[in-house]
């Protein structure tokens, strides 16, 4: 599977962000089967008192329309972070998935809101339902997670139990002391413990850590970005998870079964 991770720094003006995304996606040539952009690509979180509802859009709004146009041109599946408009409730922090035909094929509404490190995402956004979301791309089953979800290994394991051999994790990972270490370590752990590819597309710039990553099922870094705008390219071997699991059959060796299978 040929993939691209687009690292960028979003602002709080949705129109300016669409121009930026249009330019970044427009620079890609057809060929990748999967293109991943960060969490909150549609508009950044901004100051903690910013009302995100004023920027949220329905799933047929201009941001998704832009992604659909590029998905059709590239013949690729595009995943990106948005804020989804709701009636009489705070928006969802939503990953939208647009297929090669330009149709909206899936959404993942962030389950674990970032109420940590002195921040309260739940003051401005609604949490999604407690159900894993997977998509199919180029014969691969891909599990979707968003940023803070990375700190909850049970979600990654639920996705793997649902058939995922790849995890896609768009993020706006806030910078700070030790945060880059947490980012790399947790991504590596999710790859190793689940023997899956991990694709993490992060926001860069001053506020966030950047360092988008592609990891193989043994936890080795395939490619890593720096802190600024950058596009990563990788080709994932579909047989690599199986080879890794033959050497390290930790999933098969589990003695504590998934919750639904316990008696």
Residues tagged active-site: 39, 110, 147
Beta-sheet pairing, 197-200 with 166-168: parallel
Q: Which helix (H) or strand (E) holds 26?
A: helix 14-26
For 16, residues 6+ apart whose C-beta sits below 8 A from its C-beta are none
For 207, residues 6+ apart whose C-beta sits below 8 A from its C-beta are 9, 44, 172, 174, 175
Q: Ramachandran region of residue 138, left (φ > 0), alpha (ψ -120 to 50) or beta? A: left
Count other C-beta atoms under 10 Å from residue 252's C-beta: 9
Size (the chain), residues: 263
DSSP one-letter string for 110-157: -SS--EETTEEGGGT-BPPPS---EEEETTEEEEE--GGGGG-HHHHH
């Amino acid at each position: 599977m040929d993939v691209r991770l687009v690292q960028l720094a979003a602002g709080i003006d949705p129109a300016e962000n669409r121009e930026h995304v249009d330019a970044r996606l427009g620079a890609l040539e057809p060929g990748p089967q999967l293109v991943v952009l960060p969490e909150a690509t549609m508009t950044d979180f901004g100051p903690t008192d910013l009302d995100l509802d004023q920027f949220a859009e329905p799933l047929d709004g201009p941001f998704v329309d832009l992604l659909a146009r590029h998905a059709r041109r590239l013949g690729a599946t595009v995943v990106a972070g948005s804020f989804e408009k709701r009636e009489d409730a705070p928006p969802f922090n939503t990953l939208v998935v647009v297929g090669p035909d330009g149709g909206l094929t899936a959404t993942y509404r962030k389950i674990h809101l970032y109420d940590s490190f002195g921040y309260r995402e739940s003051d401005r956004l609604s949490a999604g339902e407690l159900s894993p979301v997977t998509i199919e791309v180029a014969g691969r089953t891909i599990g979707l997670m968003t940023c803070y979800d990375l700190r909850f290994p049970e979600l990654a394991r639920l996705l793997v139990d649902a058939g995922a051999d790849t995890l896609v994790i768009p993020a706006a990972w806030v910078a700070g002391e030790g945060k880059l270490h947490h980012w790399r370590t947790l991504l590596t752990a999710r790859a190793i413990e689940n023997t899956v590819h991990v694709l993490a597309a992060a926001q860069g710039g001053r506020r966030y850590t950047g360092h988008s990553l592609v990891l193989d099922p043994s936890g080795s870094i395939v490619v890593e970005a720096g802190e600024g705008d950058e596009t990563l390219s990788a080709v994932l071997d579909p047989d690599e998870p199986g080879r890794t699991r033959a050497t390290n059959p930790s999933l098969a060796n589990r003695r504590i079964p998934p919750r639904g299978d316990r008696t």
